[in-house]
Each structure stands twice: as C-alpha cells, then as structure tokens.
Chain A
Amino acid sequence: MNNEQAIELKNVSYADGPLKIIKNVTGSFRKGKITSLVGPSGAGKTTLFRLCNGIISPTHGRIIIQAKPIQVYEPTDLRRNVGLALQSATMIAGTVYKNLQLPRILAGDALPEDEAADLLAAVGLDKDLLMRHVGDLSGGQKQKVSIARTLVNRPEILLLDEITSSLDRISTHDIENLIEKINREYNVTIIWITHNLNQAIQISDDTWVMMNGQLIESGPSSLLTNPKNVQVKQFVKGDFA
C-alpha cells in the first residue's frame, strides 16, 4: 500500500507551439502523502498541475493516475478525482454559496446550505460569508473558498497551487493544518505548490524541485536542507542561509 503511486509521469513534455514548457519530466507522487512542488517562477509548476488535472495533455510522454493511464479516464471523472485549486482562485460571478455549489451543479446535483457552511468552517471561514458576493472577498478569502470548492468533489488527489500566497501568518497556519487534516483523515494525496521552503519541509513528506521545465531533484523534503544538485543549492540558499 505504501509503495503505491498516486501519479506517475514518464518522460512527460509539454510545448505550446515552439515554446517548450515541460521538458522530459519523469517521477512520481506517492499515494496518501503530501508532496511540495517548489521552484522559481516560470519553472512550469502550474503547467504540471494542469497536465495532471487533464485540462491540457502532454505533447510527449505518459501520465499514470492511480495505476491507470490518464487517457482511460473519462475527462470529467478524472478532473473530479484529481481536484485542482488554481493560483488565480477564479470565481464565477455571484455569491460564495453559488461558487461552492458549482461542482455539484456541474454534476447535476445540489449542495445543501448546511454542507456548504461546514465546508466554509473547514477552511476557516465564517458561515456568514455564504451569501456574500465574491466581488467583496479579499484575496485570501477567495483562496480559501477556492480550496473549499475543490473539496466539494471529494477528490482522492488534491492539487493546490500557491493557495497560501495571499494569506497572513495565522491563516497560512490554518490552511497548513487543514491540509494535514485532509491528508490524515481522508487519506487524500496532496501535492501543493509553495514558494515557502520552510513550509515545504514542515508540512510535506516529499518535495519536488522544478526549474526551467525540468524536474531537478526529488525525494524526502529533507533534501532541501542539503541538496545534491548545484542549482538547487543555489535556489535554497536564500531561504536557509
């Protein structure tokens, strides 16, 4: 069980026209674990998430989700199972409740108000926000709503893209706790992108370091304190001087 992989990438490349964004990435994310994805801006981290959620497909290579090639899944099933909360925390116009309902409505179902309120509480938001218009939310509140919205689908794998980037220290701590809780209690595999290396070491079992579209180094998160690769040494230097 412990050796099972949630996601495996085999020689995965992605290009947008002549622009090579992901370059021959091979690696895997362990099932039931928390993995941090770190690397400088433009490294291709978000693009890797979009590949795993299936809203784009690799130009080369194979992606294997829970032991099955990604293309055998029905796209809609895949995307519900590999939940993605994007950096931009895009909201649809309307209330917070409408946004939380969205995944259920797309599946032809409804989300009862008390369930929505519980979800808000889980991400550390007051349930009074439910009827608030999303235009009136702060950046941090939107990120929390975005996580809650992704959780509505009850994904087995959760991809979180810089979800603590606009949160204060206390909120960040709340979200870190939430991630650990979701991981432990529901055995959800979590991969999250963060620019905070201390956070990566504290929260995650494993860490991937990406640079310039390539996977440079991966392994237990302790690798960040003593990286083998020269480029990674350079990258972590600022954080652990």
Chain B
Amino acid sequence: MSFLTLSLALVFVLIPLILTKTLNLGLGKDTVIATVRSIIQLLAVGYILTFVFATENLIYIILMVILMITAATHNARKKGAAIQGITWKLIVTFVFIEVLTQGILIGFKITPPEAQYIIPISGMLIGNSMVLSILFLNRFTAEIEARKDETELILSLGGTPKQAIHHSLITAIKASMIPTIESQKTIGLVQLPGMMSGQIIAGADPMQAVQFQLLILFLLLTTAAVTSIMLGFLSYPTLFNSRMQLIKLPDNNNPA
C-alpha cells in the first residue's frame, strides 16, 4: 500500500465528520484530533521500528520497552492515586511482566531474540497490563470504600490487615481478570483479533497467524493474572499503618 492509496483512505474520516456535523453530535473536533494524533504517532512508531529493526541493537530494544513502561505507568497511576507509592508498584509490576514473559519466550526458544518479535509482543502485553491495572485499581479502591465496615469489623475482632482486606482484594482481582478470560472464550467467533487480521492481510499463512495469536492469548492470560495479583499484594499493605489500623484513603475520585 502506498502513501497515495492511504491518503485516499481519509474518505473514511470524512464520513464520520459529515455525520457528526449533520447530526450535531459535537464530535468533529475530537475526530480530527484522533485522526491527526494516530497519523503522527503511528508514523513515528513506524520510523522508529524500521530503525530499531535495521540496527538490531539491544540498547534500542531496551529503550523502546522502557518507553512503553513509562507511558503505561503514567496512564495507570492516576487511578491509584489513593495508594501510596503507586508509581513504583506499577513500574515493578510492568517490569516483572516484561522480564517474565520475554524470559520464557526467549529462554525456551518460543520466539527468536529479535526486535521484530520482542517489541510488538512487549507492546501488546504492557498495554494489556496497563488496562488491567486501571481496572484493578478502580475496583480495589471502590471495594475498600464499600467494605469499610467489614474491614474494621475484622480488625476489631483481632484479624490481621491481610485478613481484613482479603475480601476486597480477591473481588478486585477477580473482577479485573474476568474481561480477559471472557473475551478469549468468544475469540475467533465474534471477531478476528487485530494482530491476526493484520498478519493475514499482510499475506501470512492463516495457520501461522493463528499460532501466533494463540501464543499472544496465553501470554495475555499470564499478564492478566500476574498484573492484578501482584499489584494487589503490593498495594494492600500501604492501606494500613504499623498498628494495623486502616489508613483513611485520600479522596480518589478526581486525582487528575
């Protein structure tokens, strides 16, 4: 596909623009911003990836991964503003996910240690881990508020912070993992996953594309489980002080 044919595709931006104008949806400005941003961001990524793939230098690969983790942390931390030191807990979680998954992939020679594999897979996993973190933090802080009486009851009867928070923690971990598991049940039936579609369009053998997609799905399951469990167990102790008292959460409704 050439840039000329791609620019013809801007017709698909004009259609929603015309519709939002005629129906007065007021989404015109956002549509234009979204279009411009996606063009700039993806082109930039394209050029960077071309460069990184060409040089195949480990430093650049690591820099790319650091960039992804930084962006993911920046996005997710707002949701956990009520939890002390959430930035570091997120960084530790993302780094752990990256090391664990790439360690297994490369260690067991499932994928070759090449930028072409490491970077897209890392991007998908860290991106997913970020979404999971946001889901988890939203739910966890909501559960803590809602179950405050139960938490205090358990503490007052001589329970430990871990026992007192257990219910909230497990509920939040489960709730944040469910979408990942549910979406995998219907995958391929309702929609073809983006990566697989991309590969097939680019001319890959469908079975090859399916194999890769399955690999990604399994990795996503690991990511989902590890992200919420790790973040949960890193976070809950900061909700209590050394006298095993529940620390009052700062208002976490609008931290940004």
Contacts and interface: CB of A to CB of B under 8 A. Distances in A.
Interface stretch (B42-50, B99-107, B227-235, B242-250): B242-250
B158 A76 contact: yes
Contacts, number: 55
B153 A92 contact: yes
Interface of B: 149-150, 152-160, 163, 243-246, 248
Nearest to B159: A106
B157 A102 contact: yes
B159 A55 contact: no
Contacts of B155: 55, 79
Nearest to A89: B153
A95 to B, nearest CB: 16
A13 B28 CA distance: 58
A79 B154 CA distance: 10
Contacts of A204: none
26 contacts: A16-B248, A50-B156, A54-B245, A55-B152, A55-B156, A57-B243, A57-B245, A71-B243, A75-B244, A76-B158, A76-B160, A76-B244, A79-B158, A80-B157, A86-B153, A90-B149, A90-B152, A92-B150, A92-B153, A102-B154, A106-B154, A106-B157, A106-B158, A106-B159, A106-B163, A153-B157
A56 B245 contact: yes
Nearest to A85: B156
Nearest to A71: B243
B146 to A, nearest CB: 12
Contacts of A153: 157-158
A124 interface: no
Interface string A106-134: 11000000000000000000000000000
B245 to A, nearest CB: 6
A161 B77 CA distance: 40
A50 B248 CA distance: 15
Contact of A54 (B150, B153, B243): B243
A54 B152 CA distance: 11
